[in-house]
Amino acid sequence: MKIIIDECLPKKLKNDFGINFIVKTVPEMGWNGISNGDLLNLIYKKFDVFITIDSNLVYQQNLDRFPNLKIIVLKAKTNRYYDLKKLVHKIIKILIRKFYYQVFVIK
Distance, CA of 50 to chain centre: 3
Domain that holds residue 8: 2-106
User: With contact defined as beta carbons under 8 Å apart, do 74 and 88 qualify?
Assistant: no
Q: What is the CATH number of the domain that holds 74?
A: 3.40.50
Domain count, the chain: 1
List pLDDT tens digits, range 19-50.
999 999 999 999 999 999 999 999 999 999 99
Count Cβ atoms within 10 A of the Cβ of residue 52 and give its class: 0-12 exposed, 13-18 middle, 19 or more buried.
Answer: buried
Letter for the amino acid at 107? K
List pLDDT tens digits, range 46-105.
999 999 999 999 899 999 999 999 999 999 999 999 999 999 999 999 998 877 789 999
User: Distance between CA 90 and CA 43 in Å, rounded?
Assistant: 22
